[in-house]
Amino acid sequence: MESPSLLDLIAKGGYVIFILAFCSLLSVKVIIEKYITFKGITEKVITDFMDNIYNSLNSEDMKEALFICKTSSWNWFIMKVKCPLANVVKHIIEHYKEPKNELEISAYNQLDKEIAKMEKGLGILATLGSISPFIGLFGTVVGIIRSFNALSVNNSSNYANVMSGIADALIATAAGLIVAVPAVMFYNYFIKRLKLSMPLYDEAIQKTIRIVKTLELRKKHETV
């Protein structure tokens, strides 16, 4: 007996398979988008970006630092990756004359906005990871109910055919797990990456504020 092909398995799984196929495509789309976005929060990208900013600020060239914030990006295959700290640093430089406490608050508010952008879509992965097994289980239960109904209506039915119908119904559960496992794995991966990058953000914000406040004091002394 030949093993069933992938198309045969999909056909036997019923309409639930098509729902799970849509969930799978949506999951892959989000995973690819977030993977590209999270390339911008690697330690190397953040360190290289902030080193360029520090060099410009230590040279008292705020215009150059702003230019770096607006234009800096890294190539990843055919995609352009931008460090999320760029908008935060840009905000600090543009508002460096604000009192230090207010500047810190506004900088962290800007950081929260950037984090929210990075988290966008992760909720979809979490949801798909949670509901996909239940969608598959629903398809399996419906398939089993149909198999036993067929058996009760026709007493002469072959038990082997009923068992075959149950086996086909279990395809939906397997499909649900195939969708759920990658979604959960990548969700946890992205959340961990985001948490590990937070100390780098905090260090960059505090150091940038110290430098711009030092520059502000120099300018005040120069004008006196």
In the predicted model, residues of the chain with pLDDT beneath 50 are: 1-2, 6
Tokens read off for 115 = 């984090």
* Structural domain total, the chain: 1
Where do the DSSP E strands lie in 16-157? 74-76, 79-81
Predicted pLDDT at 6: 46
The answer to whether position 1 is within a domain reads no
* DSSP letter (8 states) at residue 92: H
For residue 30, which of 167, 187, 172 has the smallest C-alpha distance? 187
The answer to whether position 223 is within a domain reads no
Residue 165's CB is within 10 A of a number of other CB atoms, namely 18
The answer to whether position 222 is within a domain reads no
Predicted pLDDT at 163: 67
The answer to whether position 224 is within a domain reads no
Predicted pLDDT at 144: 80
* DSSP letter (8 states) at residue 79: E
Tokens read off for 117 = 């952008």
The answer to whether position 14 is within a domain reads yes
For residue 86, which of 19, 41, 116, 145 has the smallest C-alpha distance? 41
Q: Angle CA(42)–CA(48)–CA(54) in degrees, nearest 5?
A: 130
Domain that residue 47 falls in? 6-216
Predicted pLDDT at 11: 55
Compute the distance between CA of residue 192 and CA of residue 206 in angstroms, rounded to an integer: 23
Query: Residue written as tokens 């234009």?
Result: 71
